[in-house]
Amino acid sequence: MKTVAFNLMPYKDLPADFEKKYDSVWVSIPRTLYDPRKGHQYYHDYLDALETAVDLGYDAVGVNEHHSNGYGLMPSPNLMASILSRKVRHSDTTSLVVLGNSLALYNPPIRVAEEMAMLDVLSGGKFIAGFPVGTSMDTNYVYGINPSEMRERYYEAHELVMKAWTSDEVFTWNGKYNQLRYVNTWPRTAQRPHPPVWIPGGGSVETYDFSLLNDYSFSYLSFFGHKYAKKVMGPFWDRADALGKDRNPYRAGYAQFICVSETDAQAQIDYEEHVKYFFAKCMHIDPRFFEAPGYRTVASLRAGLRSQLDGTAKVGKAILDQGFGWKELVESGYIIAGSPQTVREQIIEAARELHVGNLIWLFHVGSMPQHLTLKNLHLFAEGVLPHIRNLWPQWDAAPFWPSGFGDDPSQPAAHRDVA
């Protein structure tokens, strides 16, 4: 099993009465609540933590994209990834994941091809590219993309980026949404024909099929943990069977909050306040923003795949109002927390049930201070990571992971062709 140390980079100082006084942490969050001096400190603390994860030998460090959002302060994850790439390039074990760039938002999308090619070169061929369709909050309400056009724009942008990465010739693009006389992306990607691609999503039939048919890895990103994830990963593997694909667990990953301490009791003492901050404030989202009309496709609706935010999982203040405390959050799988032994046993059980090879570990939760973030990273690296790495010895991760050329481009990659 491979572990991605992943950071949402939340704003940690929302007002104590935020969820009572304001409508939403996403889309309409007041700009006046943002203090640039605190933001300055957050960014550097979060980057320091991710660089620590590189030092500790995690399989990857990861960042992602959100807009007008109080729990995700990265409208441009590529900026953060460019900083991290200088550390990753010296690592023998750690790759760099951007999960990712929402393709439908970029005009023209070759900007994504260019910047991700830069990251692939900067990191020494250790880059994984993520292409989410994007949430309705980001794509429809903040960036103004018509939901009925979104997937069409996404597919066209994907086709354009892939052709820009794989073609050695200058070409003309005359699409429905993009018209370019000369497409000639410099730099080329370090990995040939292109970096591994992961598709993060919340669960839709189209996204399953798109990932499987292109042999991309699907990543289920949610904040509701491994028990809820069964609703999404079960249909994903059913589609894999239907399409004749193997069940390589590295075809899939899922996101999980995990908090490690010396004992189970100490984990509650250390982390409860910060976990509750996340679910009370960072999941305080106005329901009118969950999904714009037309966002969810007919095929997904027929398959019974609904938004995780529309009542199929408890979110926001409702969790705490309905009596969800630490015990309930752990028992319901929203978080995995406890001693290293407790945590690794639960991770292994969850990974086997979901049949996933990629653990996208949300190592920072809500208002967690830096010293606890680093404690979490160190205890996981020492007491959990060595025990989960060989969970899937019969499967090869190489089709979905980079190998890189490090600082010495004369050394060939073990699994992927590197230019």
In sequence order, which residues have a C-beta less than 8 Å from that of residue 251 and are 6 or more positions away? Answer: 211, 212, 217, 218, 240, 245, 357, 400
Preceding peptide of 15 cis, ω within 30°? no
pLDDT band at 192 (very low <50, low <70, confident <90, very high): very high
Task: Supply the pLDDT for residue 240.
Answer: 97
Instruction: Give 99's pLDDT tier (boundaries 50, 70, 90).
Output: very high
Q: Is pLDDT of 416 > 60?
A: no
**Interatomic CA distance for residues 115 and 111, integer angstroms:** 6
pLDDT of residue 315: 60
Assess whether pLDDT exceeds 70 at residue 409: no
Distance of CA 34 to the CA centre of its chain: 24
C-alpha–C-alpha distance, residues 399 and 196, integer Å: 8
Do β-strands 171-174 and 95-98 pair in parallel, antiparallel, or remain unpaired?
unpaired
Query: What pLDDT digit, counting tens, does each position of 215-240 carry?
Result: 999 999 889 899 999 989 999 999 99
Quick check: 59 and 95 in contact, CB under 8 A? Answer: yes
User: pLDDT at position 417, please?
Assistant: 52
3-state secondary structure the chain: CEEEEECCCCCCCCCCCHHHHCCCCECCCCHHHCCHHHHHHHHHHHHHHHHHHHHCCCCEEEECCCCCECCCCCCCHHHHHHHHHHHHCCCCCCEEEECCCCHHHCCCCHHHHHHHHHHHHHCCCCEEEECCCCCHHHHHHHCCCCHHHHHHHHHHHHHHHHHHHHCCCCEEEECCCCEEEEECCCCCCCEECCCCEEEEECCCHHHHHHHHHCCCEEEECCCCHHHHHHHHHHHHHHHHHHCCCCCCHHHEEEEEEEEECCCHHHHHHHHHHHHHHHHHHHCCCCHHHCCCCCCCCHHHHHCCCCCHHHHHCCCHHHHHHCCCCHHHHHHCCCEEEECHHHHHHHHHHHHHHHCCCEEEEECCCCCCCHHHHHHHHHHHHHHCHHHHCCCCCCCCCHHHCCCCCCCCCCCCCCCCEEC
Please tell me the distance from the alpha carbon of residue 133 to that of residue 179, in angstroms, as a whole number: 21
> pLDDT class for 290, splitting at 50, 70, 90?
confident
Greater model confidence, 312 or 59: 59
Q: Would you tell me which CATH number, out of the four given (3.20.20.30, 3.10.129.10, 3.30.1640.10, 3.30.70.2190), belongs to the domain 2-387?
A: 3.20.20.30
What does the pLDDT look like over 13-65, one tens digit per residue?
A: 999 999 999 999 999 999 999 999 999 999 999 999 999 999 999 999 999 99
The per-residue pLDDT for 413 is 45
**114 closest CA partner among 38, 62, 165:** 165
pLDDT in tens, 341-364: 999 999 999 999 999 999 999 999
Q: Which two tokens stand for residue 350?
A: 């969850």
Q: Which of 197-201, 300-304, 368-372 has the lowest mean pLDDT?
A: 300-304
Mean pLDDT of all residues in the chain? 92
Q: Residues 210-217: contacts with CB within 8 Å, 24+ apart?
A: 211/251, 212/239, 212/240, 212/243, 212/245, 212/251, 213/243, 215/245, 215/399, 216/400, 217/250, 217/251, 217/252, 217/253, 217/358, 217/400
Nearest to 3 by CA among 332, 414, 391, 349: 391
**Least confident segment among 175-189, 301-315, 380-394, 400-414:** 301-315
Q: How confident is the model at residue 314 (pLDDT cuts 50, 70, 90)?
A: low
- Give the whole-angstrom CA distance, residue 369 versus residue 14: 14
**First CA to last CA distance, the chain:** 27
Q: What angle do CA 335, 336, 342 make, to 5 degrees?
A: 160
Work out the pLDDT band at 303, boundaries 50, 70, 90. Answer: low
Q: Quote the percentage of the chain above a pLDDT of 90.
A: 84
Q: Is the pLDDT of residue 301 over 80?
A: no
Report the half-sphere exposure of 71 (CA within 13 A, side-chain side): 24
Q: What is the pLDDT of residue 414?
A: 43
The Cα 31–Cα 41 span in angstroms is 18
pLDDT bucket at 322, cuts 50 / 70 / 90: confident
